[in-house]
Amino acid sequence: LSKVLDLPPEKLVKSISAVPVSKKRRVADFQLSIASVTEDSSSDCLAQDLDLQAQKLAERLKCDAVVSEISTGPGTLNFTINRELLAKTVLQQVLKDGSEYGVRSELFSTVPRQKAVIEFSSPNIAKKFHIGHLRSTIVGNFIANLKVALGHEVTRINYLGDWGMQFGLLGVGFQRFGNKEKLKFSPLQHLFEVYVQINKAAEDENTKKLAKDFFRKLEEHDEQTLSLWKQFRDFSIEEYIQVYKRLGVHFDEYSGESFYQEKSQEVLKMLEDKGLLQKTTKGTGIVDLSEKKDLSTFSTVMRSDGTSLYITRQVSPSVDLAAAIDRMNKHSWDTMIYVTDKSQSNHFQHLFQILKLMGYDWAERCQHVSFGLVQGMKTRRGEVIFLEDVLNEVRSRMLQNMASSKTTKEIDDPMETAEKVGLAALIIQDFRGLLSSDYQFSWDRALQSRGDTGVFLQYTHARLHSLEQMHGNEQLTDVNAACLQEPDAIAVLQHLLRYDEVLYRSSQDLQPKHIVSYLLTLSHLAAVAHKTLPVKGSTPDLAQARLCLFQAARSVLANGMKLLGITPVTQM
């Protein structure tokens, strides 16, 4: 193509794509989009002109040892590769690159390696870890995994809700109802119970006054008060780390609103010095964000009593401004991503606008990845209060399904397997659609073993793994690719060709759904091939080649699952 079109090969990389496999008909392997290589890139180039150009270009190209067939489609030129070469090249590449298959593709060769800071999960201490936090946790983890796989340097930050008036209330509650032993043994549960109890008395004037006093002492760094607050925070983090471990998630930094109290005062001073801080008649501090400077949009950054707002995150830009500036100084990142639900979109828009007004050009490299709400996530005991409730629920439901299933073999650690399979079910149900859409959660749908579920991915992985175990587990290098000519084998090979494009798409828009639908299709194709292309009872050459095909499929399936935050199981 490069010779005929007189274009450098690297210019063509993004114009040529692998053709998605079709159930209905045999397809070519690659296609060139004519529109992307024509000089006349104006959109009024008619469809029939493009078809004509495709036809003309096809006539100038000849088949050779690599390309066995050239055909045209609507606005495209299609190439079918010599079948033996296709099988040999794809399998060698997959098995040679291992966990880096797809990532090493030339699609990524122009992408600069960057430093990324990702803030996700971010629960509030002493409050419920609600389902929004679960979404933030798995989405943030996916983005971090993907960036790391692509060679970027990632810092994962958990920004805890660990400050504010509620700690005044919690402190008083703990003095009244708290128990040091329980705090040590199960901090999240105990603090939540204390908070619920004291909240019943929250309207009482005396309680209000005590809570205010406690929080004031906290702000003044009174030693005793601070030490109690520190215990709340430290014990909670210890327990969170254990729960996150079950999810396969870790953080490089546990930060929090408490870190930025003094710094948020400095930010208010900076805003004042730059003439950006205005006072309303009530004395609240605001920043005008409107184009015409008519206060049609503004952001409130300070309460009338002069303290920065940290009642809830939604209305607390000065603390977040301080955090963003501090992270830039500390990590000098290239991109910073916040993963929260879409109700906070406004807050982040304001945050980035204020940073820009303050003269920080890097505000343009901040990004808010928002997601929709999940309805209907209930456990048998009622609503979800802690992340642990969800993990325990999914594990017990999965154990039950495994126990009643006819295909389940004796496995070494059913508890752990059930947890990993159950998690895959949760993650796939969550990642199937656009992140920004709300969805109705259903345990039954998530845990089905057939259909497009995480259970099906795990089941496919386990089956392919046991096939390898049964036929000797060695890495196959030299196989006779001529043995892989059946349509079901070709379909798997063609699908493996597309993996890098799918990774590229997800890396561009940070949506996991591209990878999810790719892996589900891979599993369906592998399941069909597993039926029609037996290894057992075939001639040695044929058995080896098929085994190699299944090994490649399992390797890519495992890579993709790990990116999504799923640990592949080997027995089920």
| Residue 80 bridge partners (DSSP) | 69
Name which of 379, 383, 369, 422 is nearest 399 in CA terms.
422
Give just the sign of the alpha carbon dihedral 7, 11, 13, 19.
negative
Contact between residue 501 and residue 102 where contact means Cβ atoms under 8 Å apart: no
List the catalytic residue out of 14, 115, 127, 471: 127
List the catalytic residue out of 3, 14, 24, 133: 133
Q: 378: helix, coil or strand? A: strand
| Residue 516 bridge partners (DSSP) | none
Name which of 5, 10, 11, 30 is nearest 19 in CA terms.
30
Phi, psi values for residue 319, rounded to 5°: -70, -40
Quote the tokens at residue 269. Answer: 């001073």
Please give the Cα distance from 502 to 492 (Å, whole number): 15
- Distance, C-alpha 35 to centroid of its chain: 33
Strands of the sheet containing 76-81, edge to edge, are: 16-18, 30-33, 76-81, 67-73
Known catalytic membership, residue 530: no
Length of the chain: 572
Q: 534: helix, coil or strand? A: coil
Q: What's the N-to-C CA distance of the chain in angstroms?
A: 48
The kind and range of the H/E element at 96 are helix 83-97
User: How do strand 115-119 and strand 76-81 relate by DSSP bridges?
Assistant: unpaired
| Residue 116 bridge partners (DSSP) | 154, 335
Known catalytic membership, residue 133: yes
What number of other Cβ atoms are within 10 A of residue 511's Cβ? 19
Contacts of 45 (CB under 8 A, 6+ apart): 35, 38
Name which of 226, 239, 256 is nearest 188 in CA terms.
239
Q: 447: helix, coil or strand? A: coil
Q: Where are the alpha helices (DSSP H) in 332-480?
A: 345-357, 387-404, 414-431, 443-446, 454-470
**44-74 burial by CB neighbour count: b if 16+ within 10 A, else e?**
eeeeeebbebbeebeeebeeeeebbebebee
Please give the Cα distance from 512 to 502 (Å, whole number): 10
Quote the tokens at residue 540. Answer: 């040695």
List the catalytic residue out of 3, 14, 128, 130: 130
Name which of 286, 282, 311, 314 is nearest 301 in CA terms.
286
Contact between residue 492 and residue 549 where contact means Cβ atoms under 8 Å apart: yes
Please give the Cα distance from 161 to 166 (Å, whole number): 10
Known catalytic membership, residue 115: no
Please give the Cα distance from 342 to 436 (Å, whole number): 7
Q: Which sequence positions are flagged as catalytic? A: 127, 130, 133
